[in-house]
Structure 1
Amino acid sequence: MGKETTYNFLSGGGEMGELTRSKDWSKTSLGTPDTWSQSLRTTLGIILNSKFPMFLWWGPELLCFYNDAYRPSLGNEGKHPSILGMKAEEAWSEIWHIIKPLIDQVLEGGQSTWSEDQLIPIYRNGEIQDVYWTFSYSPVHNEQGEIAGVLVTCTETTQKVNSLKSLKDSNQRFWQNIAQSPIAMCIFRGPNYEVEIANDLMLSLWGKSEKEVLKKPIFEGLPEAKGQGLEKLLDQVYTTGEKFTAIERPVDLPRNGKMQTIFINFVYDALRESDGSISGIVAIASDVTTQVLARKTIEESEKRFRTLADNMHQLVWMADAKGWIYWYNQRWYDYTGSTFEEMQGWGWQKVHHPDHVDRVTQKIQRSWDTGEIWEDTFPLRAKNGEYNWFLSRALPIRDEKGNITHWLGSNTDITSQKIAEEQIQSFASELEKKVELRTKELRESNNSLKKSEMRNHLMVDEIQDYAIIYLDTEGNIENWNKGAEKIKGYNEKEIIGKHFSVFYIPSDRDSNVPQKLLTLAKEKGKAAQENWRVRKDGSLFWASVVITAIKDGDKNIIGYSKITRDLTEKKAADDKLKTSAKQLKLKNQELKKMNKELQSFAYVSSHDLQEPLRKIQTFASRIADKEKEVLSERGLDYLNRMQNATNRMRILIDDLLQYSRTTTAEHKFELTSFNKIVEETQQTFKEELEQKGAKFNLGEDVNLEIIRFQFRQLLSNLISNAIKFAKKDTSLVVDIKTKTGIGTSFGIDSLSPKKQYCHIAFSDNGVGFDPQHNDKVFEIFHRLHGKSEYSGTGIGLAIVKKIISNHNGIIMAEGILNQGVTFDIYVPINRPKLKKK
């Protein structure tokens, strides 16, 4: 047309209306629009102004017309706008073989067509693309009623088809995932829970074939599952949409033709549609029967172990591989009065003695680190605050690869052995002190006895292994530990299932001793015996046996624990100890005899020696008083010498009597204020001290359990010495200081490490003595000064040492010439008390 000509039927129509109006139609078979038939005009007016995609083929050449709604289907860089007014066969050459038959069907038969989601590839966007359409071809008649064109109404459904295809693929993959899932899965559809799909694992779990359950409500295909609460769970998930998870739920299902309880972990989850509505349930399940039964077996075994452990006399505990204690038996809590919260992990340190806890911690940490068996002895605090000694052992428990999984430990009370040792040591010490004052032969005998006793103690200390055996109610062996294997000589395979009477000597079996012990344990709860037992190789050992009835929560006897200790060496030691005790008795009898002789000596000294001495002194005094004028100067000298000699003899006899009394007098210990007894003793020397201008410096007072009259004698001798050896023209100064503490705090090996002592330091500022005499001043009759300088017998300090010995203490002297002397005295604050075994 050359330029745009306005026609009413072509008005509007957007882009395609403008293109139609501006096209030069004179070059087509249709000619200019003013020559077009009314039917074409009407049809084009409808198409161009419609919002629905439309296309028109018109005339014999099927020239192409389309509207703006159809325009997007042609894409870019394709047929638009070139196909406007183009012949159909040229415009759609790539799909002509598809659409030509449909067009002919309309032109020839006058019938409309309908195609839904039809694949018709077209050229657009620079390439041939697969495009899906839903369309209809309809005939358009001219004024004569003839079919003059074909009207196409269509919509592109490519996106819809691709989405459905993706959904189908996704569903297919979903079904494949279910079928190939390594866990049991299925889908229930609808409120009747029809089985839509179930994989082989789920069918195996149900004990059903696919034919029996597929496309059927689950409780119709699997009626055995009814009445077990599963219906309610499915209803809850289906109606609320809330997921349900079950762990180890027991369910009865068919297995090999009969019902069997199995344990299942499963999840029910709502299956939702795109609109959020619930259309079914997805079920995922896992059969954990094997694991549950295995765990229950382990738990039952552990329960039996803990029952056994709780009935043991020992304190038993378990720790993980790194030493964190996570379990104690009931005996531990009964003894310590503690709770698990207080004791878990390293809490056990709270009941250890503060003097031992660091050592024990370091030693057991080495075992945790190296995996070596741990063994130690130490005191543990009971709930009443007292400490008992325990022997503790811990064994590493390893898996099949040799890795430590946990530790098993036990603590055995050995306080009675410790007390027995202390008693023996005390007896031996007392014997040694008595024998030391008498004969070398007795000292050597006592040393031999002490060595024998130490060997016996070592033998007792080596008794550390226990045989722990679990018996059923008939006395048959069900379980035992490594200690039992070591003591009895049997391995586990040889002994499990046999009656425990196999360990008894024939005479005991003939007397029915094993059954009698079981009966006693059944009636009384426990039975104990010491006697000979038989090992596998026929050898005998002396055994201490304790059989304890083990009861369940209803107090029914479910078995017995039998704990055996090999006391063969202890029995031998006890036999030797009895022999030693007999020897000790004989030695004591000999000592008593010697004491009587010593008392006789004291009597002779006090009467037979003092009586003539008094007469000599009397007659000498009379001569001095009445015959003095008739005596020559030499006679007077001889008389003075005689009187001095008799005075020294009297003092010597008195000192010997005093020394004797410190040995033979009754040892009556009394709780006494030390400063008070010092002050009392000072009063007896009041005049002498005043003459010396003496000054006493007393330290802090302390109450001591001592033999009062002996300690007064001790202080009297020390004060007397201080006065005697005071410097001329110098005021006497005496310092008496006290300090208390345990033996180790003073750094003296001969003190008992844990015993409480009082250190008394007695110092003066007198003439002192050469330090080379420090150890000799306590020897009887030993004098450091001439008779002409200082009077005395050399017995005073020997008496002091004997008094300290009577108090189980020690005394040391440290002299400095012309500066004074210090006596260091260490005595127990409390008198030693022998504990009964």
Structure 2
Amino acid sequence: MTDEPVTERRNLDDIRGDGRFELLVNAIKDYAIYLLDREGRVATWNAGAQRFKGYTAAEIIGQHFSLFYTEEDRESGLPQRALDTAAELGTFECEGWRVRKDGTRFWTSVVIDPVLDDAGNVIGFAKVTRDVTDKRAAARALLESEQRFRLLVQGVKDYAIYMLDPTGNVTNWNPGAQAIKGYSADEIVGRHFSTFYTEEDRQAGEPQRALSVATEMGKYEVESWRVRKDGSRFRAGVLIDPIYDEGGALIGFAKVTRDLTERWHAHQEVERARETMAQAQKMEAVGQLTGGVAHDFNNLLTIIRSSADLLKMPALSPEKRERYVEAISDTADRAAALTSQLLAFSRRQPLKPEIFDAGKRVKAMQQMIETSVGPTIAATIDAGEGALVNADLNQFETAVLNLVINARDAMPAGGTLAIVTQVVEGLPAVRGHSAAGGSFVAVRIVDQGSGIAPETIGKIFEPFFSTKGLNKGTGLGLSQVHGFAKQSGGEIEVQSEVGVGTVFTLYLPFAAAQRQQRGARHTVRNHPLATKRVLLVEDNEAVGQLARGLLEELGQIVTWVQDGNAALELLSTARSKIDLVITDVIMPGMNGLELARHISDRWPDLGVILTTGYSHVLAEDSDHGFPLLRKPYSVEGLIGMLGATDAR
């Protein structure tokens, strides 16, 4: 018995070696590395062990290693079980609490391996301990965070939040997903997410495209239709984000879906209401004009009819004959201008910016303005020349009429309405926007009406907001004016005092550097035309006879057909005998614009002129690219158009 400890110690000394091994072990500060004898007493002690546990080598060598264990572990026999397990299985490995010299606890990772002699007998143990307190705290914090996140996701009922694997199979499922899509987790986990897509989207490859976009762009977001378990469709807002591991490899996708069906239906109802209200507002304004316009047209027709009857009198002097002819011509121009204004107001003409004099346009609208406000309101217009703007003329006239009708409604008992157009410097600060420099054309509409209350004035430009009674307005008039002003680079300002009146000022940028296009007036005698062989396409018998006669009087050679197909057949056999095509737009079968495009494609060197009084075809396609002669056209207008073709 007395020789055994000596043999054991000698063998452990052999393990320690010649000191170089001790130098290596003592250089390690992050691990406690030391030897135990067969009974578990500490035989060596490195610097890492001293740093972790607080004991010096002198204090701990010879002490039993159970000293580092907690009281409850010692009572349970854990130190001895650790040695027994290491001896029996070849290693013991665990994590647990240990105790420092000062009594504080730390979480350790422990490995114990048996040390064997040449005969395979256990002569001691090598023990490696690492302080992993921080690592354990971090792991616990991560676990708690994941648990909180899981609780958060599982607590969300209004959103479907779930994950997909890289191929698109569902890997988890929250209650919100079950509530929205109808599937339980057991029914859907493992299935492909294309299950939720409509058949047409699956056929179009939309599910795979969604994953591809998410991968390539970092996100996929869309609003579209999806399908519930019961087969019903719902409007979904979908977001898909790719998920990558620490090495940058794609490991799946995070998918969030929200049911937007109610919001979508509500939006559709609002859009339908908006369209209905817009049409109602337009019809309301047109209806207010109808009586006055009928009266004006009857007056114009009276002048034309009376002048025509007088021209039939055989004894009429040349001076009176010329006067009545001029009266018919001027009255026809006034009727055409009135028709043009009505079409502009009803938005049935092509809309595009052009240079025009705002003052002149307001003056030209005087008759319509007076008709709109009625006999109890005195309307005055002060519009100087030179107030050039570059804007949509139709929208400009609609905006002015909307402001005029608003002023009229504010003066039910009558009053004075003043419209002033002038060029001003600078744009004032309006509704919190900063002032702006530069030149602007200001169109002011001043009324003596009831005024607008301060608490209301901030809302008057909102769509559908109206202070008028039921069925008295749509609330879209001022919204149209505001939208037109902003789109044109301008602004609308309002100043009002209850019981005194209101001033609306429409500001549009002054087009000083641009010239207004003015058509030169032509006369038959002063503008001789080159003779052309004209193909006239006009379905109306009376208009066709008149147009052919007019063209022949201007020295043209005319062939007249009454539809587009007849025109194409003639051109197919006699193209070389035609120099110009003049076609009406509205015709049965092929319309004039379609005919013009057929001709342009087949005979690109053959000129085409379109004529129309009104056409929804051109209203929908204002960039058709063909010369347009508006009906009713005059001799001057026709000469101008023919002259332009001579120049080409």
Report the TM-score range of the alignment, normalised by the length of the smaller protein: 0.3 to 0.5
TM-score normalised according to structure 2 size: 0.43
TM-score normalised according to structure 1 size: 0.34
Larger Rg: 1
